[in-house]
Amino acid sequence: MTARYGKKAHDEVEKAVHEEKRGELKSGRSGKTVTSQKQAVAIGLSKARKAGGKVPAKRAHH
């Protein structure tokens, strides 16, 4: 079975979570400081997606 996420995705998520822990990660539009780890992971995946990394498409939430 092949990996779902590429190296780029791993690196971006790791970076985003570290920034969130230090209180340095800001959300995109509002520029507010991110407080949840889930948000940090989502931001990392989003950045990896934009950079052309191997990341599955966003899940639809209801």
Question: What pLDDT, in 10s, does the model give residues 10-62?
Answer: 999 999 999 999 999 998 889 999 999 999 999 999 999 999 888 888 877 76
In a 10 Å sphere around its CB, with 0-12 CB exposed, 13-18 middle and 19+ buried, how is residue 34 labelled? buried
Return the amino acid letter for 51.
A
* pTM for the model: 0.80
- pLDDT, residue 11, reads 93
d(CA 49, CA 62) in angstroms, rounded, equals 22
Calculate the CA dihedral of residues 4, 52, 42, 14 and round it to 10 degrees.
80
- pLDDT, residue 62, reads 66
Distances (CA, A) of 7 to 1, 20, 27, 37, 46: 16, 20, 23, 20, 14
